[in-house]
Amino acid sequence: MAAASGLAGAGDTFATGVEDLHGGWSGGMAQYYKAPEQEQVCTLLGHPKDTAKALRDSTASAAQALKSFAEGALDIVARRAALVAELESYGQTGGPAFDPTTDRPVFQHRANVLADDYRALDDRCVNALNALHRNTTSTFASYGPPDPAAAVNAATAVYNTLTQGRSTDPQRDLTRLLRSMDLMTPEEIAAFKADNPGWALVAAPVGLDPSANKDLWASLRHPEIVIAALPLLAGNLEGVPYSDRAKGNQLALQAAAAQDGLTQEQETAFKNLAESLESPSPETNGQRHLLAFDPSVIPPLAMVSIGNVDEADYVTVNVPGMDATTERMTDWTDAAQSLYDAQEKIDGNSSHAVIAWMNYTTPDLFPSSADVLQSDLARAGGDRLAANLTGIHTVLGDNAFLTVTAHSYGTPTTGDGLEKIDFQVDAVVLYGSAGMDTDVTRDATSMQVAQDQNGNPQVFATQARADNVAGRGILGSQLVGDGRLGATNPLFGAKVFSSDGNELLAPTDEHSAYTGRENRQDSQGYLDPGTQSLRSIARITMDLGEQVDVRDPMPLDYREHHKVTHPQLYGPRF
């Protein structure tokens, strides 16, 4: 407060000095000295006098803002000290009894109020200071009345720093941007959009911390303002509740589809994405949500959930294989729906969600492209999968049973992603695998997956006898690619289950993940209704893996010995 008073005093002293100087020339000296340039000098001194007066007013405003901040901070410090003292006295002799079930929420609420009060105090001070603007470009810099565009200009400056890649601390600048927008009026938001025509499709910065994003989002008073003003950015912040992300991505999808000059791929993908968010029929279970959206690549990337991830007890992320794109997003959401429905039959009272994960670029079909024999795209996709899984874990913690299911080329992608996270998923299912990238995922123990009571990772794998495509992909990678190992190979160490059917359930007859055919006389994929593979995968994803008949993995020491004696199985053969 002393500094605030000093600032106000300095502004007043400076203004008084300039006024005295002007008065001396225009009044006092006129009695003793007259010259042709006297009027010119007096005129020139009039401008410093006016700017000095403005400076006095603005320094007084700044001083008042700082004084108010200091007074409020003293109150918050005192309340915090009282709260700390109460907490420290609990449990001590003579102190009041501590009942966690009733008192802990009260203390937490008081701490949250302190934090909210401090943020509000800080925001008011910053906004008051930002509202002061320089009103002259002369060497006599001065500051005038509050600028109505100050908040918009400040937000735009940070926005440009982030979107133009000039930020040295994206997390800090994102915090500044969202908190400033959180305080804007509707008129200011409209002005911000007018000044920044790319607002709807600006992407979230890279390198952000999901936990920091979660805390930042929780601190916002009006997150709906940020969603409406920066929908794509809000829709793709890991750590943010998925219900809010879906709102942002829905707006971003509409904005992307309305652009001029779209390619045919983009038009098809945007249309198919929109269709994938609609339930096929009124009887279809599970609401659909667009959890992630990246229109910067062609075709765009996305994540669509069946069910509410925020409230789910069981979450399954289903990773596609080769030739899967958002141009055919409805195919992948139909596959997710089939798995969701199978889970519903197992436990219709639980909350569950299946995510149709189309958030990486997959290889084209062989032989039109040989990318499927290499693992480059899988490794790039693994980065994105790891980021998305970390976001899910940040939002849900350990409150949901999290499974990753992967088909074909999605299996090495999954192996790569699960090697890069710092927590464990609960289970993994690899079906119709195109082989695991042993440079990254040497065996099932390389992935961050929970273990069973025998110490084996909860990694399950299946490949139907009639699926010739998966085997050819593995062989091709060993002959001319980077040498992948089959997920059902005993040396990989997965728990292998059958997809070949039995007297009650249909076999998988081809490599497809999903065909939509329900008659067991027809050729069916791994996730088609009525198949043994779908029933087993649904059980595993609902934490009922013990009900699936499996071939247990080889002992780890035997597998390690075999890797030394048969190194040709862990890389290209020629």
Q: What confidence tens digit (pLDDT) does each residue in 418-445 have? A: 999 999 999 999 999 999 998 999 899 9
Q: What is the structure's pLDDT at 392?
A: 98
- 8 A C-beta contact, residue 71 and residue 1: yes
Using CA atoms, how far apart are residues 263 and 31, in angstroms rounded to an integer?
Answer: 81
Using CA atoms, how far apart are residues 205 and 174, in angstroms rounded to an integer?
Answer: 8
- Omega before 231 cis (within 30°)? no
82-86, 230-234, 428-432: the lowest-pLDDT one = 82-86
- Say whether pLDDT at 346 is over 90: yes
**Residues 6 or more apart from 240 whose CB is under 8 A from it?**
213, 214, 217, 234, 395
Q: What is the structure's pLDDT at 379?
A: 95
Using CA atoms, how far apart are residues 519 and 237, in angstroms rounded to an integer?
Answer: 42
- Say whether pLDDT at 339 is over 60: yes
Instruction: Tally DSSP H helices, then E strands, for the chain.
Output: 17, 8
Q: What is the mean pLDDT of the chain?
A: 85
Of the pLDDT bands very low, low, confident and very high (cuts 50, 70, 90), residue 125 is confident
- Say whether pLDDT at 264 is over 80: yes
Q: What is the structure's pLDDT at 7?
A: 54
Q: What is the mean pLDDT of residues 113-137?
A: 67
Q: What is the mean pLDDT of residues 522-536?
A: 95
Q: What is the structure's pLDDT at 376?
A: 92
72-81, 112-121, 447-456, 483-492: the lowest-pLDDT one = 112-121
- Say whether pLDDT at 179 is over 60: yes
Q: What is the mean pLDDT of residues 358-366?
A: 92
- Say whether pLDDT at 314 is over 90: yes
Using CA atoms, how far apart are residues 527 and 534, in angstroms rounded to an integer?
Answer: 5
- 8 A C-beta contact, residue 464 and residue 559: no
- Say whether pLDDT at 568 is over 90: no
Q: What is the structure's pLDDT at 450?
A: 98
Burial zone of 568 (CB within 10 Å; 0-12 exposed, 13-18 middle, 19+ buried)? exposed
- Say whether pLDDT at 138 is over 50: no
Q: What is the structure's pLDDT at 71?
A: 84
- Report the first-to-last Cα separation within the chain, whole angstroms: 77
- 8 A C-beta contact, residue 314 and residue 541: yes
Q: Please give the share of the chain, as a percent, with pLDDT higher than 90.
A: 59
Find the DSSP H helices in 220-241.
Answer: 223-229, 231-235
Of the pLDDT bands very low, low, confident and very high (cuts 50, 70, 90), residue 150 is confident
- 8 A C-beta contact, residue 515 and residue 531: no
123-132, 215-224, 472-481, 528-537: the lowest-pLDDT one = 123-132
